[in-house]
Structure 1
Amino acid sequence: MTPLKSGTVDLVILSALHEQPRYGLELADHIGTRSGGLFELSEGSLYPALLRLSKAGLIEGEWQPTPGGGSPRKVYRLTDSGGQELARRRAEWERLQVAVNALLLRRGVRA
């Protein structure tokens, strides 16, 4: 597995939480599975990113009981501001893809 680059960590977290609320390790597993095992979020990069996104008001966490009576888990969900930020970052990502593909495939970018 490959660690995600810092600029994409927030984007993939916001995108995964747009689908549904998730707790930390569930989120990391989802990203790893969805990427076909290509991306890995270690706890050392996941939890600081969740804290950063939470402080920015893009996500919020709530402690919920664990099925089967285990320790409670903090489940994160996207806020309205987070949804708006996700839309902005997706559009930025799409523009970047077009520009990089134009360079790699030697085609011009149409504005």
Structure 2
Amino acid sequence: MSVSNQMMKGLLDGAILGLIAKGETYGYEILEKLKAHQFPEISDGSIYPVLLRLNKKGYITATVRQSDNGGPKRKYYAITTSGEHELKVFKDKWSYLNVGMNNLFEEGKNAQ
């Protein structure tokens, strides 16, 4: 199933902030976690612009350092206090929207 780009953009910001809030991580690991959680239509090229945007807004910080397994250097991301606040706002909005959508669909189901 295809999801519109605008819908994905809004959800991806919140999803990535949520993953980073669970602990410092890097781009490829974020991509793998999103796929593991069955997040739709994720490509390598789609998460890096989001990470850059979140970094510019001050919601996350980026630190380049050697990977844990001795491979090439990686950019590790951590959430900031501002990012934690933004994630809470996102979760509140998501819950509010989710309740409304569920009520709408349940109402339609009961009418049939």
Q: What is the TM-score when the length of structure 1 is the normalising length?
A: 0.86
Shift in CA distance, 19/40, structure 1 to aligned 2, threshold 3 Å: farther
- 1:29 equivalent in alignment to 2:32: yes
Q: Counterpart in 1 of 2:23?
A: 20
Change (3 A) 1:14 1:38: closer
Name stretches of at least 5 consecutive residues in structure 2 with no aligned partner: none
Aligned partners of 2:2, 2:54: CA distance in 1, in Å? 22
Q: 2:107 aligns to what SS in structure 1?
A: coil
Quote the residue 1:57 is aligned against.
58
The answer (yes or no) to whether the contact 1:18–1:77 under 8 Å persists in 2 is yes
How many corresponding residue pairs? 105
**Structure showing the higher helix proportion among its residues:** 2
Contact 1:2–1:38, Cα closer than 8 Å, also in 2: no
Runs of 4+ aligned structure 1 residues displaced above 4 Å come to: 1-4
RMSD after superposition: 1.9
State the TM-score, normalized to the length of structure 2.
0.85
Within a 5 Å distance, the mapping from 1:73-88 to structure 2 comes to: 73-88=74-89
After TM superposition, give the deviation of residue 67 of structure 1 in Å: 2.9
